[in-house]
Homo-oligomer: A and B are copies of this chain.
Amino acid sequence: MSLSHLIPPFLGILGLVAAFRIYKLVMQYETGNEKVTRIAEAIHEGAMVFMRREYKMLGAFSAVLVILLLFMLGVKTAFAFVVGAGASALAGYIGMFSATQANVRTTTAAHEKGASEALSIAFFGGSIMGLSVAALGLLGLGTLYLFFGGDPETAHAIHGFGMGASTVALFSRVGGGIFTKSADVGADLVGKIEAGIPEDDPRNPGVIADNVGDNVGDVAGMGSDIFESYCGAMIATIAIASTMTVDVLDPLGQQADLMFLPLALASLGLICSVMGILLVRKYSAKSPEVALRIGTISATIIFIITSLILIKLIGVSAAVWGAVLSGAVGGIIIGLVTEYYTAGKPVIQIAKSGETGPATVMIAGLAIGMQSVVIPILTICAIIFASSSLVGLYGVGIAAVGMLATVGITMAIDAYGPVADNAGGIAEMGGLGAETREITDSLDELGNTTAAIGKGFAIGAAALAALAIITAYVETVAANIPDFALSLNNPHVLIGLFIGGILPFLIASITMTAVGDAAFDMIKEIRRQFREIPGLMEGTAEPDSARCVDIATTAALKKMILPGVIAVSAPMVVGFVLDAEALGGMLGGALLACVLLALMMANAGGAWDNAKKHIEKGNFGGKGSDVHKAAVVGDTVGDPFKDTSGPSMNILINVMAIVSLVIAPLLS
């Protein structure tokens, strides 16, 4: 064991310390008056209740998997699974705990101090999450690598870490997605449309649940999502490097160095992320947009430059750096394309199509969503082409690591969005006046853009990570089965390809329906409260918000089981009942269909959302016009698209890929 191998876990600990310091910093700010503090506590409490109930269920499901792994692959893999699941759950918990502390402090800062300080707090709130994700990934994976990585006999156990992380991520993403959208749709439909009260009105029993949902879905869900891509990319690259033969290795470097490189790059990325976070703080007095952009772009540029030095220091071929570069640049391109489709000209087109009613809004949005897959996927193709031409399949893994290395700052900026969104909700509910609301609105608007970019980035990263894991799967199986080839004209591979293509459509269908059903329960409850609680509409009585949180929680937890079980069991069923070829084909088909659906759903949903907002700013007749009503239909369909079913796709493919990699040694 080289001493340098101590660096990743050590940096992981440092990252956690940094996150804790930022947390302390956030906590120094005022929570504000009694009313907003009480609202914020209700949101915080609701989020924590959801997390606890979700983790209890996850614990039971994980226990089953741990026992399975124990019998099939031994204690080391089972142990790694527990560590991975724990780290992922902890990252989500820390992120959400701090986000629900930062939200109210952002509101109060906006009310008392102004935009710059409000931005700082919201961004710090998100940074805690970003740093925790990166730090826990490095600490957990780095420590396992320290103990298991050196020996090929035990190295496979590390994959259990990825499976644990992915399993938690899947449930967090699906459960969170169902929670957030059922609460959102329910609160909006009864509150805004039936009762005619504004969004985030405190009389609406569903608004607390809606605000809890933003945290549950966009903070914890997104965090677990990126966490598993981040760890998955590293695990896969280590696995690919471990199976490399001498003739492939020779031009690149020592096997041990190539195996360690992903962890080293991620360590460097964490340092760059911290620098980026400091830069945002430094520039926060300028426009928020400029500050966030300076932060991300600087972090990426510093990472790209210093990674070349790192690669030279480790003594690996400089060609590997080309793969890092392709991944880092590709991630930015995919993010920018997402921004174009969800905030550029297509949004105006959709808004305009509202002039001929909701049907044309739907057609325009779906067409734009379908069109939006083209450039991001061609970018992924370019990354594959560049990285594999330079350093073979190992390059694909390194490209994924390169894209994800600066996850600390990417996530910070992404998680900033829901914090700002929540701050606005609290300002409205707390009655802090138009001026405060204006500041939070401007922060929120920026948050929507960064969230869209973050979603595009998350899809690209998940796709590349999954591809790396699939490659690792193929190499692992090939080590056991001579002549193993995933040839498309092998009927078993074809059958697998088709089965793989079905699964994303099935999961998307199940989750979309789940949102509808859960929203229906929510609608009934909110209607009941308006009907049965005397004085609620007049503002003299309190709504029973906890009951709405409970309904969303129960529905989300109930409805996440089926998709979760399908995702985890599909690779096992196909792998053991058919064979390793069919499973490989399935991963290929699922990867393709997941990426296509994820991009289409996220971008169509984002574009519908912003088309509605564009009209609400007074265009095409403005709020209340028929065009606006048509756009609201698009937005309502877009909600489960972009926040439930679409994001589930990222994890679906990663869960299936990592489960396949874990069971690979058992296949024959």
Q: Is the CB of B498 within 8 A of A381?
A: yes
CA distance A520 to B467 in the complex (A): 43
CA distance A343 to B520 in the complex (A): 25
* Contact with A509, one of B368, B487, B491, B585 (Cβ below 8 angstroms): B368
Q: Is the CB of B487 within 8 A of A363?
A: no
Binary contact track A574-597/B, C-beta < 8 Å → 1, others 0: 000000000011001100110110
B residues less than 8 Å from A384 (CB atoms)? 491, 494-495, 498
A474 at the interface (CB under 8 A from B): yes
* Contact with A592, one of B377, B498, B633, B640 (Cβ below 8 angstroms): B498
Q: Is the CB of B359 within 8 A of A495?
A: no
Name A595-611 residues within 8 Å CB distance of B: 595-596, 600
A32 at the interface (CB under 8 A from B): no
B residues less than 8 Å from A636 (CB atoms)? 357, 359-360, 363
B residues less than 8 Å from A584 (CB atoms)? 488
For A193, give the chain B residue with the smallest CB separation.
Answer: B357
Given A474-B489, A592-B592, A633–B600 Cβ distance below 8 Å?
no
Binary contact track A31-49/B, C-beta < 8 Å → 1, others 0: 0000000000000000000
Binary contact track A351-387/B, C-beta < 8 Å → 1, others 0: 0010011111011101110110110011011001100
For A585, give the chain B residue with the smallest CB separation.
Answer: B488
Binds B, one of A13-21, A63-71, A164-172, A500-508: A500-508
B residues less than 8 Å from A637 (CB atoms)? 359, 362-363, 366
Given A489-B486, A509-B371, A377–B593 Cβ distance below 8 Å?
no
A493 at the interface (CB under 8 A from B): yes
Q: Is the CB of B508 within 8 A of A370?
A: yes
B residues less than 8 Å from A474 (CB atoms)? 488-489
Least CB distance from A287 to B in Å reads 35
Least CB distance from A337 to B in Å reads 13
Of A370, A515, A520, most B-chain CB atoms within 10 Å: A370
Least CB distance from A600 to B in Å reads 7
A485 at the interface (CB under 8 A from B): yes
CA distance A112 to B175 in the complex (A): 62
For A584, give the chain B residue with the smallest CB separation.
Answer: B488
CA distance A633 to B629 in the complex (A): 13
Least CB distance from A41 to B in Å reads 33
Q: Is the CB of B512 within 8 A of A367?
A: yes
Q: Is the CB of B374 within 8 A of A506?
A: yes
CA distance A31 to B419 in the complex (A): 72
Q: Is the CB of B494 within 8 A of A467?
A: yes
Least CB distance from A499 to B in Å reads 6
B residues less than 8 Å from A393 (CB atoms)? 489, 491
CA distance A505 to B366 in the complex (A): 10
Given A362-B633, A516-B364, A499–B588 Cβ distance below 8 Å?
no
CA distance A373 to B502 in the complex (A): 7
Given A596-B501, A633-B359, A487–B489 Cβ distance below 8 Å?
no
B residues less than 8 Å from A593 (CB atoms)? 501, 592-593, 596
For A497, give the chain B residue with the smallest CB separation.
Answer: B592
Q: Is the CB of A505 within 8 A of B363?
A: no
Of A360, A489, A633, most B-chain CB atoms within 10 Å: A489
Q: Is the CB of B585 within 8 A of A396?
A: no
Given A378-B499, A381-B498, A600-B505, A512–B363 Cβ distance below 8 Å?
yes
Least CB distance from A360 to B in Å reads 6
CA distance A388 to B305 in the complex (A): 53
Least CB distance from A507 to B in Å reads 9
CA distance A657 to B356 in the complex (A): 38
For A389, give the chain B residue with the smallest CB separation.
Answer: B491
Given A366-B512, A396-B491, A489-B471, A374–B592 Cβ distance below 8 Å?
no
A513 at the interface (CB under 8 A from B): yes
For A381, give the chain B residue with the smallest CB separation.
Answer: B495
Least CB distance from A527 to B in Å reads 12
Q: Is the CB of A358 within 8 A of B487?
A: no
* Contact with A491, one of B373, B377, B385 (Cβ below 8 angstroms): B385
Name A454-498 residues within 8 Å CB distance of B: 467, 470-471, 474-475, 485-489, 491, 493-495, 497-498
B residues less than 8 Å from A475 (CB atoms)? 489
CA distance A470 to B501 in the complex (A): 18
B residues less than 8 Å from A364 (CB atoms)? 513, 516
B residues less than 8 Å from A585 (CB atoms)? 488
Q: Is the CB of B363 within 8 A of A516?
A: yes
Q: Is the CB of B509 within 8 A of A367?
A: yes
Least CB distance from A225 to B in Å reads 21
A and B contact pairs by CB, cutoff 8 A, 29 listed: A356-B520, A356-B523, A357-B633, A363-B637, A363-B640, A364-B516, A366-B637, A367-B512, A370-B505, A371-B506, A377-B501, A381-B499, A385-B491, A389-B491, A396-B491, A467-B494, A470-B488, A486-B487, A487-B488, A488-B584, A488-B588, A494-B588, A498-B595, A501-B592, A501-B593, A505-B596, A589-B592, A592-B593, A593-B593
6 closest A-B pairs by beta carbon, nearest first, are: A359-B636, A486-B488, A388-B491, A370-B509, A371-B509, A370-B505
Q: Given contacts A360-B516, A363-B513, could you give 19 more A-B pairs where the C-beta distance is less than 8 Å?
A: A357-B636, A358-B633, A359-B636, A362-B362, A362-B633, A363-B515, A364-B516, A368-B509, A370-B505, A374-B506, A377-B502, A384-B498, A393-B489, A470-B489, A486-B488, A498-B595, A501-B596, A505-B596, A593-B593
